[in-house]
Structure 1
């Protein structure tokens, strides 16, 4: 059935590589221990030695396979070499083309490649490069969203072109519970990728205030106001916090560079200052004006009512999916009623 594993993992449940360091070793290991696909997030700068330490720390917490996510918009060649040297199970890439030569290098190292896409055209390029799986990100997703299509229309189109090559497709965007899981399976996906739901877990490295807002708030907006200088042309979906809701319209050339410093954080072992309108989300080390910082979230955030252990998230997803699918197969006839 559809809730079973993909790419050698027990379940087809992927924990998104939450940036810049929110999906750390503790979250990834607990996802892996529960049978899901846990993904670390590589630094957005070349730091191969540190990345090796991150991978090895995760291995000290689990004997299950896991992976690392890399944003191709940032320097990444040395980081990818470290990932392949460490022979993690999965390399997940996003926001850029992944050439066939690098896929071949990953395969020679025994590493499977998952490319996240936001359009049919990107999916076609990923398939031509020989990737092992594709994550289809719908416009409903939180964080940086590259595509404009909703998941319900984009997903089946990608499934159709991937089927002939036997490449599994994973759905992402607004999925937080078993209902979303089953809906994705019904559209042809073989797995689901969740970001916001795993952000709101006990093991996530997000700041407690950020987690609290994920539970308390239920509206998001697709915008480009955060991190314009660091990552231009990269729109994102964020929580409509009181700060964001009251934010005045920005000028076209206005960005975080000219804004005041509102906090400090240690990100991937490096000290960073956080300016107003920066795209950096607050992690557990962050100090300062937390509520005025960027807080990414998908449209499914309104369904998140509590902070859970990561393993419990996976357990509930599987159980809810099994129940829902069982009801559809064995349940009462909706026209004639129960027999």
Structure 2
């Protein structure tokens, strides 16, 4: 945990915008101090992942005026989130990049969760394999009220991903669901990665081996601290990373092949909305006219 650093980041973000923003927390790791900072600073949204989004946590956040949005990968977890009193639900499909909590494709899981939520005032947000307006419209058709993009925003000018990582997101179009990275630090946490030459060489790593057995291949600054990166660690190369960058893990969702260029983040959002509007107006508008 890095509560002091997190507080600095929150206050710096506030100095840059008057819009609401959120902070994500992975519940699989120590998190109590970080969450307390988020609540003390009254950040608009606490987004939680990979752990139990309890009624107690939601109540505590609400008492501080903070909304809670968990990311779920199953109907059961969505149901528990609803009864914990959450404010929205992110539904992650197996297509997603990075650590994947879901075993189901978004196309089957999303409408199930939307039906489960029903007429409750809980927006459903789709995540996993969405990079453009087509994915946005598909998610809306399946019952979502919004979308959550990860890989597409990694490949933006503002992203703190290492330039080599960004370049690979444009260069490669194949991903793989695996567990070879970060086994020692985060066991039992499968992930989707770019199918790079490095991954091809190490994809058959025996189950008893992990990054603790491997040499240091680079360094990086994370949370204001310099860390070592071992081969097969789960640490992605950020802009500060040095060493064997191409030998580091590169998370990516299944639709990475649709990313053709590095864009400003604002342009990604602009195109996403414009493409979706055109699709709805022209393609789906024609369907409505044909059947009216």
TM-score category of the 2 structures, normalised to the smaller one: over 0.9
Residue 236 of structure 1: which of 191, 201, 208 is its match? 191
Three-state SS of the structure 2 residue aligned to 1:246 is helix
- Tell me the residue number matched to 1:312: 267
Q: Kindly report which structure 2 residues correspond to 1:100-179, keeping only aligned pairs within 5 A, or say none.
A: 100-179=55-134
The alignment status of 1:70 with 2:34, answered yes or no, reads: no
- Deviation of 1:164 (Å): 3.5
Q: Kindly report which structure 2 residues correspond to 1:256-267, keeping only aligned pairs within 5 A, or say none.
A: 256-267=211-222
Unaligned residue ranges in structure 2 (runs of 5+):
none
Contact 2:139 2:147 in 1 (8 A): yes
- Tell me the residue number matched to 1:53: 8
- Deviation of 1:329 (Å): 4.7
Q: Kindly report which structure 2 residues correspond to 1:18-57, keeping only aligned pairs within 5 A, or say none.
A: 46-57=1-12
**Superposition RMSD on alpha carbons, in Å?**
1.3
From the superposition, tell whether residues 333 and 53 of structure 1 become closer, same or farther in structure 2 (CA, over 3 Å). Answer: closer
Point out the more displaced range, 160-169 or 316-325. Answer: 160-169
- Tell me the residue number matched to 1:82: 37
- Tell me the residue number matched to 1:203: 158
- Deviation of 1:248 (Å): 5.6
From the superposition, tell whether residues 49 and 146 of structure 1 become closer, same or farther in structure 2 (CA, over 3 Å). Answer: same
Residue 324 of structure 1: which of 260, 263, 279 is its match? 279
TM-score (norm 2): 0.97
Three-state SS of the structure 2 residue aligned to 1:184 is helix
Three-state SS of the structure 1 residue aligned to 2:12 is helix
Q: Which runs of 4+ in 1 moved over 2 A?
A: 328-336
Three-state SS of the structure 2 residue aligned to 1:93 is strand
Contact 2:2 2:223 in 1 (8 A): no
Mapped partners of 2:38, 2:102: distance in 1: 27
Three-state SS of the structure 2 residue aligned to 1:326 is helix
From the superposition, tell whether residues 107 and 332 of structure 1 become closer, same or farther in structure 2 (CA, over 3 Å). Answer: closer
Residue 250 of structure 1: which of 199, 205, 222 is its match? 205
1:122-158 per-residue CA deviation (whole Å, 9 max, x = no partner) reads 1011111000000000000000001110000000000
The alignment status of 1:194 with 2:149, answered yes or no, reads: yes
- Deviation of 1:165 (Å): 2.1
Mapped partners of 2:81, 2:232: distance in 1: 33
- Deviation of 1:53 (Å): 0.1
The alignment status of 1:278 with 2:278, answered yes or no, reads: no
Three-state SS of the structure 2 residue aligned to 1:302 is helix
- Tell me the residue number matched to 1:4: none
- Tell me the residue number matched to 1:19: none
Unaligned residue ranges in structure 1 (runs of 5+):
1-45
From the superposition, tell whether residues 203 and 102 of structure 1 become closer, same or farther in structure 2 (CA, over 3 Å). Answer: same
The alignment status of 1:225 with 2:180, answered yes or no, reads: yes
Mapped partners of 2:287, 2:185: distance in 1: 55
- Deviation of 1:333 (Å): 7.3
Mapped partners of 1:229, 1:63: distance in 2: 40
Mapped partners of 2:205, 2:169: distance in 1: 25
- Tell me the residue number matched to 2:171: 216
Residue 137 of structure 2: which of 178, 182, 186 is its match? 182
